[in-house]
Amino acid sequence: MIDRLRTDDTPDARSGWRSRLAALGVLLSCTAAMGSALAQSPPKPDWGPADMPPQDGRIFLVTGGTSGMGYEDAKALAAAGARVVIAARNPQRGEEAIERIRRDVPAAQVRFEAVDLADLSSVRALAQRLRTALPRLDGLINNAAIMAPPERGTSADGLEMQFATNYAGHFVLTAELLPLLRKSDAPRVVTLSSIAVHRGSIDFDDLQSARAYDPYGAYAQSKLACLMFAFELQRRSETEGWGIRSIAAHPGVAVTELIERGPGVDSEFGRNWSRDRDSYHSAAQGALPTLYAATAPDAQAGAYYGPTGENERRGPLGLAAVPPAARDAEAAARLWTVTEEITGTRFSSRVH
Ligand SMILES: NC(=O)c1ccc[n+]([C@@H]2O[C@H](COP(=O)([O-])OP(=O)(O)OC[C@H]3O[C@@H](n4cnc5c(N)ncnc54)[C@H](OP(=O)(O)O)[C@@H]3O)[C@@H](O)[C@H]2O)c1
């Protein structure tokens, strides 16, 4: 592109240069934020499931596929021909989700695997089962989450519950599935973040909110950790030659079970949320950034996709704003190391 700018010197081309240079500036600032070598171009704003390339033969794991966005991810991927494994805690909810998917997509190849992301032995057991059962994994969608339980809870491993479920469980799952992902010719890992990251920070002195627990602060921290993880995974994939395309996505605000099962619809947050719920995305709309990241040929390594309207609460698909904290590659590397220590899990470059 730079060579063409130097040699093409007509007036039309010169005005074209200016807009191209301006666009390049925007793209490079996004790229620098994530440390990826590629400039990022925004997706087609009206991209939808009809634009998804056939996924026949591709194998996906969707965490939290029993409701909300994860369910919609699983359904859309199955409709495009993919083999989909839904992983969540409750087998009955799993069976119900599969039944609902099959009503709309009778030929869906979808199955359920039980996992509790807030119990690292359960995460490791799932990864072990998948390594035995699957020839490879083409896409991992780190989607499951809980939001702002009013009281501080702890996971089986003693971690704060949101940090454990939303972030640390997915960190370990990705590490444990790395050998299976590396058997794919084009593996992708999509990690869900949130507009809440703009209020988030990583408190390295109290990562587990043991000294002070703010339900929304802990949620924002966990989702910021997810975003930093997605970018750091891409950087490490490039350095280590893992061949993974790591991409982050967020849904805007979507009507799902997240509030009901977190702070509750009767909480102050829930009441405010309920007042505006007609203006939010459906779960199917909220799933589009993830589905784009997981399947679009143009989805770029190290990018962050989400809706672009109303401070990214809803609207057409595009590149999401990256908060300064998520651009801090040093902090991301530190968080990675700390998480390895806390979880006793390292990403190994071994394929088997
Ligand atoms: N909804 C929004 O407006 C919004 C906004 C920003 C970001 N997000 C993000 O979008 C993603 C999807 O959320 P959603 O809104 O679709 O929520 P949801 O409807 O509540 O779905 C959450 C899913 O996570 C699973 N899950 C929860 N805890 C788990 C655990 N310990 N182990 C395994 N699975 C677990 C649940 O399954 P079981 O209960 O069956 O285990 C469920 O399938 C999350 O990452 C969330 O942070 C949502």
| Candidates 3.40.630.30, 3.40.605.10, 3.40.50.720, 1.10.1200.10; CATH matching 49-343 | 3.40.50.720
Pocket of ligand 1 (CB under 6 A): 63-64, 66-70, 88-90, 93, 115-118, 143-146, 165, 192, 194, 223, 250-251, 253-254, 256-258, 261
Q: Is pLDDT above 50 for 26?
A: no
Residue-level pLDDT at 349: 74
pLDDT reading at 275 higher than 60: yes
Average confidence (pLDDT) over 148-168: 98
- Residue 8 Cα to ligand 1 midpoint, Å, equals 51
Which tokens is 70 given? 């994860």
pLDDT (tens digit, 9 = 90+) per residue, 220-271? 999 999 999 999 999 999 999 999 999 999 999 999 999 999 999 999 999 9
Cα 143 to middle of ligand 1, angstroms: 6
Q: Is 219 a catalytic site residue?
A: yes
Annotated catalytic residue, options 71, 167, 213, 219: 219
Q: How confident is the model at residue 15 (pLDDT cuts 50, 70, 90)?
A: very low
Residue with CA closest to ligand 1 atom 1:
254
* pLDDT score of 30 more than 60: no
CA 302 to chain centroid? 11
Dump pLDDT digits (tens) for 291-346: 999 999 999 999 999 999 999 999 999 999 999 999 999 999 999 999 999 999 99
pLDDT higher than threshold 60 for residue 5: no
Mean pLDDT over all residues of the chain? 90
Judge whether 305 and 292 are in contact, CB under 8 Å: yes
pLDDT for position 8? 29
Interval 73-87 mean pLDDT: 98
How is residue 152 written in tokens? Answer: 């501080």
- Residue of the nearest CA to atom 34 in ligand 1? 88
- What span, in angstroms and rounded, lies between the C-alpha atoms of 248 and 141? 10
Residue 105 near residue 78 (C-beta atoms within 8 A): yes
Secondary structure of the chain as H, E, C letters: CHHHHHHCCCHHHHHHHHHHHHHHHHHHHHHHHHCCCCCCCCCCCCCCHHHCCCCCCCEEEEECCCCHHHHHHHHHHHHCCCEEEEEECCHHHHHHHHHHHHHHCCCCEEEEEECCCCCHHHHHHHHHHHHHHCCCCCEEEECCCCCCCCCCCECCCCCEHHHHHHHHHHHHHHHHHHHHHCCCCCCEEEEECCHHHHHCCCCCCCCCCCCCCCHHHHHHHHHHHHHHHHHHHHHHHHHHCCCCEEEEECCCCECCCCCCCCCCCCCHHHHHHHHCHHHCECHHHHCHHHHHHHHCCCCCCCCEEEEEECCCCEEEEEECCCCHHHHCHHHHHHHHHHHHHHHCCCCCCCCC
pTM, 2 dp: 0.90
